[in-house]
Every structure is written in structure tokens, then in C-alpha cells.
Amino acid sequence: MMQLPRTPSFRLDGRRALVAGASSGIGMACAAALAEAGAEVFLAARDRVRLAETADAMLQAGLDAKAVRLDVADVEATAAAVAEHGPFDVLVNSAGLARHSPAVATTTADYDLVFGTNVRGAFFLTMAVAKGLLAARRPGSLINISSQMGHVGGVDRAVYAATKHAVEGFTKAMAIEWGSSGIRVNTVCPTFVRTPLAEQTFAVPERRRWVEEKIKLGRIGEVEDVMGAVVYLASDASALVTGTAMMVDGGWTAG
């Protein structure tokens, strides 16, 4: 009798996941998604109050969650926290910020702030989790929440787009470097998603029209749109996927 192939499992039972930026928006949604798939999830964020509220909400929903106060811009403290609580089989780095302005109006303070979290913080967080896996000789899946702006440009987004292009670059390089150790490194690239970070854009009518015209599916993203992509990349279902960007952009970059 013919043996049909079986779909690899999307389940994450027995795996330990670290989600940075987990106190709100996409990060919170990713934490919930990983926990729903069976992972033991460590929530990390700067805001101690929101972090505790998120952990409580997940526990009340019957999901496995632990809170770790963490600012990825503090590279040394981040490395220490990862070493203390790791190793982690899965990383989702959703910690990020933006300071949008015309390129000619960019201040060095805003540039340094955004790069400090979006690039420097993301790079060394990914490195810290990988070091734990390498020392333990374990495979893993490291996921950086990038953006469609890591592949295109946008009005008033020179700094933000530059940071996300940088994330795409180091993700590919790390995937090549650690592939032989079974450590996969990928990005998820959402379009504009309805989160507190995006409200500054949606509040300006012409900016909102620009967004809605560029998204071919005709609607702004919701955090739920990102959850399935993250579970897929974290799980065995994506076992041959590394060094790539998963677009969740409603067709923005296709045009």
C-alpha cells in the first residue's frame, strides 16, 4: 500500500520561546500564538506594568507564560538575561520603535535611538540566543519581526527603512553562518498593522490613503495576520526555511 507523506507538525510542545517586545501589538500576538502551539513562552519587554498584564492575561487563558523585564537596547543586560533563562529553542524579536520624519529633518538623536533598538538591539539579541543554542548543541528557529520597509522605501521613513534593510542583511548572514548547526534565522515582514506604533500614521488622512492604496488586498493588517506566519517559522513545518523573508504585506511589495 502506498505510504503518503505526512505534514510536519506545527506544534511546539516542549520548546522554550523568548518573545521580545511582548507587552503589546505584534509581539503580544506572537507570544500568544507560540503558547497556543504548546511552547513555554518567556515574555520580554521594557514596560514592567504592561508586561505583567500580558503575562497575567496569558495565564488566565491557560497559556504558559513567564515575564522577564528586558530592554534589547541594553546589550549587556540582554545577554545576561538570555544566558540566565535560556537556552531558547525559538526567538521572536518584535522589539522595535520608529521616529518618522522627512530625511532632511532627521536628528542624530532619533537616528541613534531607532538604530540602537532596531538594529543593534536586534543583532545582539539574536546573537545571544544563538550562542546559547550553539553551546547546548541544539537546533533552533530565530525570527526577527522586520517590515515590508525592509524591502521598499516610504515617505518619512528613511531611518526606519534603513534599520529594517539592515535586519534583512544580518538575518541572511547569520542563517548562512549557523545553518550547519541546525539554527534557522528568518524574518517576518508585515505591512502596516493596526497597533499603537502605527496609529501615528493612520491619524494623518493622506498617509492612511497612501497605505490603503498600496495594500493590494485593500485593508490594513491586524496582529492576527502575523501569528500563523510566526508559528510556521518556529515549527518543524518550516524545517528547510532559513535566510528568507516571509512577506505578510497584503501584496504591497508585489507592485
pLDDT of amino acid 155: 87
Q: Which of 66, 111, 131, 164 is catalytic?
A: 164
Is 164 among the catalytic positions? yes
Residue 181 scores a pLDDT above 80: yes
> What is the domain partition of the chain in residue ranges?
16-248
Angle formed at CA 94 by CA 88 and CA 96, multiple of 5 degrees = 135
Among 66, 111, 131, 160, the one annotated catalytic: 160
Question: What DSSP state is assigned to residue 8?
Answer: P
Q: Give pLDDT, residue 214.
A: 93
Model confidence at 196, pLDDT cuts 50, 70, 90, reads: confident
Q: Output b/e per residue, 59-97; b: 16+ Cβ within 10 A.
A: eeeebebebbebbbbebeebbebbeebbbbbbbbbbbbb
Q: In this structure, what DSSP letter does residue 181 have?
A: G
Decide if 147 contacts 98 (C-beta within 8 A): no
CATH 3.40.50.720 assigned to 16-248: yes
Q: How many Cβ atoms from other residues are within 10 Å of residue 199's Cβ?
A: 9
State yes or no: is 160 an active-site residue: yes
pLDDT tens by residue, 84-139: 999 999 999 999 999 999 999 999 999 999 999 999 999 999 999 999 999 999 99
Structure pTM? 0.95
**Residue 158 pLDDT level (bands cut at 50, 70, 90):** very high
Q: Which residue has the cell 516610504?
A: 154
CA 123, 129, 134: angle at the middle one, nearest 5? Answer: 115
Is the backbone peptide bond immediately before 87 cis, with ω within 30 degrees of 0?
Answer: yes
Percent of the chain scoring above 90 in pLDDT: 90
